[in-house]
Structure 1
């Protein structure tokens, strides 16, 4: 029997995004990392229900030279030590079309699913941006948009559910979202 997973964007889903001019940005350092309220509990409930929990995050500032790789790794180490996560997958590429892993491309989800026996049709992608929803749709997952009110375009694929937090997303996954 294949496993089910919940794929999670990082900034704006697990931790507070830094919003400037209506656009979300990552924290600049591990000390700026602020886990959002209810996230540890929501992840624990999903883990207890048997879901594999995987962060899938674009971090293009590494390729652009504005954030050192060591900073991203330190943020991820702090997250891994704090939250019940199975893996953190990161795209470090800077431009669309450069790879198959930068969301909205589904590469991170497809590779994790294949490597860990995940049934993507029975899995979920939770994100706060159009790129997350479109990546989840391209991978065959059910998608959940955490509405943050960013000033950017809507996803090409409407999400299966819209809510305000990871706790609400977990509620939906655990109740209404049981079948693909």
Structure 2
């Protein structure tokens, strides 16, 4: 299982009325259901990975040492297998920045993962786009309730990380089709 980081596992920081990534360790806070969601997936035998864009490193707003500290916390608290980071801004058009799939391919090479059996949890369209283009299924966490299922067969919506994980595990265990949660 793969997770986006900001807005999915940790809370955004509001700067100038806009959502932003934390720049300092003291700004880094897990979302309330991150621990429960990760534990449920771990208990079901899933390996857990984070794939995150962190362009503020390139911009000089986020110190790489602070980023490492945040990810050390994530790995310890959520018992993650690995955290993959793209530190580049979009203008560089690198292959590691989501929605490109280089970070997923690295995970396949390093951990022998079958992406066709994997899911990506994220809070943005680019997370879903990255997952789908790499061959994963995607769950978009959004507080806005979506009507029924999405039109894409491997794209689903959930109103919380916990409800998204619950549906993925139900579908996996029961071999049912997942449905978007309300």
- Do both proteins adopt the same fold according to a TM-score greater than 0.5, normalized to the shorter chain? yes
TM-score (normalizing by structure 1): 0.85
Aligned residues: 168
Structure 2 residue runs without a partner (length 5+): 145-151, 178-182
Report if the CA contact (8 A) 2:23-2:63 is conserved. no
* Structure-2 separation of matches of 1:159 and 1:30: 35
- How many angstroms apart in 2 are the aligned matches of 1:159 and 1:122? 11
Q: Which has the higher contact order (CA 8 A, sep 6+)?
A: 1
Instruction: Classify the secondary structure of the residue corresponding to 1:14.
Output: coil
Q: Following superposition of structure 1 onto structure 2, how do residues 81-160 of structure 1 map, counting pairs within 5 Å? A: 81-148=76-143, 160=155
Match of 1:68 in 2: 63
Q: Indicate conservation of the 8 Å contact 1:30/1:78, yes or no.
A: no
Structure 2 residue aligned with 1:24, among 11, 19, 31? 19
CA RMSD of aligned residues (A): 2.1
Gaps of 5+ in 1: 1-5, 150-156
The two structures have a TM-score, normalised by structure 2, of: 0.84
Per the alignment, residue 33 of structure 1 pairs with 28
**Does residue 42 of the first structure (1) align with residue 37 of the second (2)?**
yes
Flag the 1:60–1:158 CA change in 2: closer, same or farther, 3 A: farther
Larger radius of gyration: 2
SS at match of 1:50: coil
Candidates 157, 160, 165, aligned match of 1:170: 165
Runs of 4+ in 1 over 3 A off after TM superposition: 19-23, 177-180
* Distance 1:71-1:148 versus aligned 2 partners, 3 A rule: farther
